[in-house]
Structures are given as structure tokens and as C-alpha cells.
Amino acid sequence: MKIFLLYLALYSGFTAACAASLESDLWYKKFITQSAVVYDSYRKDGEQPYKLTNFLKERTKINNLLNERWAEQADTDYLCLIKGLWDGDYVGVGFNEAWWVLFKMPQIRVSLADLLIQSSNHELLSIDRNTIRSELITYIDRDLFNTKAQAIRALAQLGDDRDLDYLQKLADSDDPKGYSSVARTAIGIHQQVSAARIKK
């Protein structure tokens, strides 16, 4: 069955409409509940919660929920949610404005970028690939292993030839931190994405 390209409107009215559709969704309720848990941990743990195991564990659950829904049911309402979270204009039912501090964190931004890119690659969503690429590069420049590794893999999902030289150099490097292994995996992802585009 042919997958049609879905162009999501950027105005708040549409975002509110998709949020209302998600209101009774069990997954969405889990997402809202987990966001509240993570924010509560963030608030209690002070200005550097990323150093604390409990906060990191709870924040990871948000990423897991977002990825699980994409794999199971990347419908219009879900795509509207991740696009709104990325753009910073989501106004969903039960969503607390104070939570934006969480969704602006690099770890969650990278996950959102990855999901948006995969949705675009599957022709489910129209995105500004250059803008997302630019932001991913800023995270790659940082030396936080999990975030950088995820950003490298997300960058590969774009299938942009401008990134091949960087990925190849990193893959060939004698890197004690493990980035070279991540880069080799990323090159494989890049090749798959590029091959899929050629077929289209």
C-alpha cells in the first residue's frame, strides 16, 4: 500500500487538534505521566540532575516510550506530537509548560531528531533536514558518549553525502572511547538510506 507524504501544519490550532485526539490514548497517558515523573526528579535533584542515576534512568524512559510508539503506530497524532516537541510549540492535553526544560535537553533532542528523520525517510513526514543536521552536528561536537553516539547514528539516517568523510575518518581512527565502532555502524546505516533513495 502506497504511503502518502504527510505535511503537518505548523500552527497551534493543528497541534491542539492532534493533542485532543491523543487525550484518551493509553500510550499518551503513559507519556504524560513519565514526563511528570522526570520533571519531578529534575526539580528535586537541583541544577545538575544529569549526574544522578535515578534522573538518567527516568529520562531514558521518555525516549523509550517515544521510540516504542514509532515502531508500533506512527500515526498522524503521534507524528504531530514529535513534530510539536521538536518545534517547541506543542500544546497537548496534560502537557506542562515547565517540562520544556526536559525536551530541550540534548539527549531528548537527539531522539526526537532521529524519529523525525526516520519518519521522513518513510515518507510519513516533511522536515527541514538541513536544520536537523546542523543541530545534530552540535551534539556530535560534545564529548558525552551516549548523546554523541546517538547523534552520529541519527546523522547517518539523513543519508547526506557531506557526512561520509567525517564518518569514514572516525571509523578509521584509533579511538579508545568506542566512537570508531559507532561510526562503522553509522556508515552501514548511511549506505542503506542512500540505497533506498536510489530505488525511489
pLDDT digits (tens, 9 = 90+) for 31-73: 999 999 999 988 887 666 556 778 888 999 999 999 999 998 8
**Of the listed ranges 6-10, 69-73, 109-113, 166-170, the one predicted with least confidence:** 6-10
Q: What is the pLDDT of residue 65?
A: 96
Helix, strand, or coil here: 105?
A: coil
pLDDT surpassing 60 at residue 19: no
Instruction: Report the greatest alpha carbon distance in the chain.
Output: 51
Helix, strand, or coil here: 92?
A: coil
Cell of 55: 534522573
Helices (H), ranges, the chain: 12-22, 26-45, 53-72, 76-87, 100-103, 106-121, 129-140, 145-158, 164-172, 179-199
pLDDT surpassing 70 at residue 86: yes
DSSP 97: G
Neighbouring residues of 107: CB distance < 8 A, sequence distance ≥ 6: 59, 63, 146, 147, 150
pTM confidence score = 0.87
Is the sign of the CA dihedral 111, 125, 9, 74 positive or negative?
negative
The confidence band for 20, taking pLDDT boundaries of 50, 70 and 90, is low
The confidence band for 7, taking pLDDT boundaries of 50, 70 and 90, is very low
pLDDT digits 0-9 by tens, 88-146:
999 888 999 999 999 999 999 999 999 999 999 999 989 999 999 999 999 999 878 88
Contact (Cβ atoms closer than 8 angstroms) between residue 108 and residue 62: yes
Q: What is the pLDDT of residue 46?
A: 62
